[in-house]
Structure 1
Amino acid sequence: MDFRKQKLSIAEAKEMDMVKYLSLLGHDPSKIKGNDYWYRSPLRQEKTPSFKINRKLNRWYDHGLGKGGNIIDFGIDYYGCSVGEFLNKLNGGFSFQEPLKNIPKIKNEPEHQLKILKDVELSSYALIHYLEQRKIPVEIATQYCREVHYELNTKSYYGIGFKNDFGGFEIRNPYFKASSSPKDITTVKNGSDEVTVFEGFMDFLSFKSIRENEVNNTPDFVILNSLSLFEKARPFLESHKSIKLYLDNDAAGQKVAREALSHSKKYNDHSKLYQNYKDLNDWLAHIGKQQQKRLGNKL
């Protein structure tokens, strides 16, 4: 028997309809414009769809990550595996007529299935390279982050871990965004009467990176880790004289900012600084060093 004929080739895999494939993974388009199918990214958590498949070309592009390609490129990022491993997943029962049973929907699994195995000093080349791509100096990241090794669906992974006040972790790597239980805000207390608020820890690290040489007038910080925790953070926030908001430039972030401004005159929305970008880190990743130094005093 010629087993080579039974194994899916790279060329054959590339011909698979990506829209149908994502549907089998449980991801349906949020909107369709001509040949462009827009999704909330399967590769990370987001509320505004920025992941696109051009069905005519059968190619994808994630605007948040700034990368794209064919179905194999997607599979490698989605599962964090090799080309051969992804082809084996497709060989293991992939069908456009029957539900896909052999590929777990990692992104949508309940939080309790993620188990922290250990946290160590941040040293992985892949994670440091990811931080460098996001313009975060490793010297800043190692002050606030750990390298977290965790288990999900019986498989082991690792990522950048940012601890919250209850001991849970926000976890990021180039392919995955998750949280371990318990979920909570993160506070950094410097005894200041001013507090600066971020939605996620990458924005906090971006702020610290831009102002890394500043020693005096350091504010307190609150990293919400989820907009849903804003109300929980309010008592601590409003115990300060001044509250600076650096929330995401999406509908959800701006809605919370408007609500905050209606609560008290202490709140100040600083998102206009990065008004043409998704968030503070996206802005930092795209501006030049000279512009960064020039605009840093506006933070």
Structure 2
Amino acid sequence: MNIQEIKAIKLQEVLASLGYSPTKQQGNNLWYLSPFRQENHASFKVNTERNQWYDFGIGKGGNIIDLAELLYKSSDVSYLIRKIASDAPHCMPISSAPFADVKSVQRTNSFENLQVLHLSHPALIRYLDDRCIDMEVAASVCKELHYDFNGKHYFGIGFPNIAGGYELRNPFFKGCIAPKDISHFCADEPKKVCFLFEGFMDFLSFMTLKRKKNPQSTGLREQDYLILNSVTNIHKAAKRLSRYDSVQCFLDNDEAGRNAYLQLSKELGKSVTDASTLYNGYKDLNEYLCAESKHSERAEIKKSKGIKL
């Protein structure tokens, strides 16, 4: 890599490769706990539009080279370029690409040298932890995917579908390795009820909530689950769901989720239940899980300090 190629690397990708995830986002600004010191409140800002950083704790900022100087404690640019190149992020920035480009990537299936591994990368584990997902639950169904695209290497969380493709996630993008399709998990014994989810993060959130009640089990073989992976797959889902006596829908509390629920109710003409009342006031199950987790943490802290709830 030359210095221009180095400067073109997104700062958030470099931080992700080193295991740092943003604590919040405000417009084009991502906020992190400083990579230079221990702190409880994020004071390190990355402007994703300008690809610049600033650490309010030390009053310094700049580009990726300036960041590397502090991270690697050197002013030797050649050395810094080698270090950044070796630690370069393996995360494909699909979210920054136009939707048409993403569709083109998925249609041509131009991912190469795909490796399906056990989920273990610290950056991905930290991402799941930020989403309050139980790691054992995630590892029971998800994989760590490494692949090449346009001559560069990337990685992310892979969630398998029934057609042999994967949904892809990391802190900075969402996409898929074609073919895109629904995901369906069946219990060891035939069930009359199926639980329906819009995306796999909501499915993992539900499984995490179940595991909190029963820590000894991930619950995967106790119930039938179907994940749309996109509300556009509702017709595909209807064919499989028609075999069940009833369907409980854990869809998003937004217009797309409500429309999918109404469409499925119309197509099946049977008992289709809206289970989103479980997380009224929240966009989806993951947002509800994160809120519940924070509430539980606060309660534990108060309990440990002898504060009556």
Q: TM-score, length-normalised on structure 1?
A: 0.63
Residue 275 (structure 1) shift: 2.6
How do residues 1-299 of structure 1 correspond to structure 2 at under 5 angstroms?
A: 53=27, 60=29, 69-72=45-48, 75=51, 83-84=64-65, 106=97, 108-109=101-102, 110=104, 111=106, 112-115=109-112, 117-190=114-187, 191-212=190-211, 213=214, 218-263=222-267, 264-288=269-293
Determine the C-alpha separation between the residues in 2 that align with 1:187 and 1:149: 23
Residue 114 (structure 1) shift: 3.3
Determine the C-alpha separation between the residues in 1 that align with 2:209 and 2:171: 22
Query: Aligned partner of 2:253: which letter?
Result: N
2:251–2:257: 8 Å Cα contact kept in structure 1? yes
Determine the C-alpha separation between the residues in 1 that align with 2:220 and 2:128: 26
Residue 176 (structure 1) shift: 1.3
Change in CA separation of 1:289 and 1:221 when aligned onto 2, cut-off 3 Å: same
Q: Which residue of 2 aligns with 1:56?
A: none
Query: Aligned partner of 1:229: which letter?
Result: N
1:116–1:148: 8 Å Cα contact kept in structure 2? no
Residue 283 (structure 1) shift: 1.1
Residue 195 (structure 1) shift: 0.2
* Partner deviation per Cα, 1:157-185 (whole Å, 9 max, x = no partner): 10110111111010101111110111111
Query: Aligned partner of 2:205: which letter?
Result: S
1:149–1:158: 8 Å Cα contact kept in structure 2? yes
* Partner deviation per Cα, 1:225-260 (whole Å, 9 max, x = no partner): 111111011121121111000111221111111222
Determine the C-alpha separation between the residues in 1 that align with 2:284 and 2:113: 28
Residue 219 (structure 1) shift: 2.1
Is there any run of 5+ residues in structure 1 with no aligned partner, and where? 1-6, 11-50, 54-58, 88-102, 293-299
For the residue of structure 2 that corresponds to 1:287, the secondary structure is helix
Q: Which residue of 2 aligns with 1:28?
A: none
Residue 288 (structure 1) shift: 3.0
Query: Aligned partner of 2:146: which letter?
Result: H
Of 232-241 and 272-281, more deviation after overlay is shown by: 272-281
* Partner deviation per Cα, 1:185-221 (whole Å, 9 max, x = no partner): 1110112111001111111111111112266993211
Q: TM-score, length-normalised on structure 2?
A: 0.61
Query: Aligned partner of 1:221: which letter?
Result: Y
For the residue of structure 1 that corresponds to 2:222, the secondary structure is coil
Residue 289 (structure 1) shift: 6.8
Determine the C-alpha separation between the residues in 1 that align with 2:66 and 2:48: 10
Identity of aligned residues (%): 34
Change in CA separation of 1:159 and 1:234 when aligned onto 2, cut-off 3 Å: same
1:75–1:86: 8 Å Cα contact kept in structure 2? no
